[in-house]
Amino acid sequence: MIMKNFVKNIGKLFYNKLKYRSVYAILSGEMAGATFTYIEEENCGENYAILILSPTEALYISKKETDYELKNDNIMFVDKLPKDHYDLHRAQFIYYAKKKGIYANR
């Protein structure tokens, strides 16, 4: 048990960041139960680009806030998407961000 906790805590030090092409679940807060995809190529400054999957919505979330939620286990890694699915999610992110008027062109 002690070794398991040690490995878990060491893992958090190195892997406590959103991963490319990954889907996450939100475990607490007003959006508890929702899932989102991290769209790395669309990051804007100090904000992560995410696509909420149900209902579909594009958002920019501050890195500080996201890192805090990851550290406190309020966001959980679910799965890594295949490249073709990720490309679809990225296209949806761009569509919904432009529709909402928040798309940050680089």
- Could you read off the pLDDT of 17-62 as tens digits, one per residue? 899 999 999 999 889 999 999 999 899 889 999 999 989 999 999 9
Q: Which CATH class is domain 18-100?
A: mainly beta
**Structural tokens at position 3:** 């070794």
Residue burial 20-58, b: 16+ Cβ < 10 Å; e: rest: ebbbbbbeeeeeeebbbbbbeebbeeebbbbbbbeeebb
**Does the structure show a pLDDT above 80 at 14?**
no
Grade residue 13 by pLDDT with cuts at 50, 70 and 90: very low
What's the confidence (pLDDT) of residue 57? 95
What's the confidence (pLDDT) of residue 15? 57
List the chain domain ranges: 18-100
**Structural tokens at position 72:** 């406190």
Grade residue 63 by pLDDT with cuts at 50, 70 and 90: very high
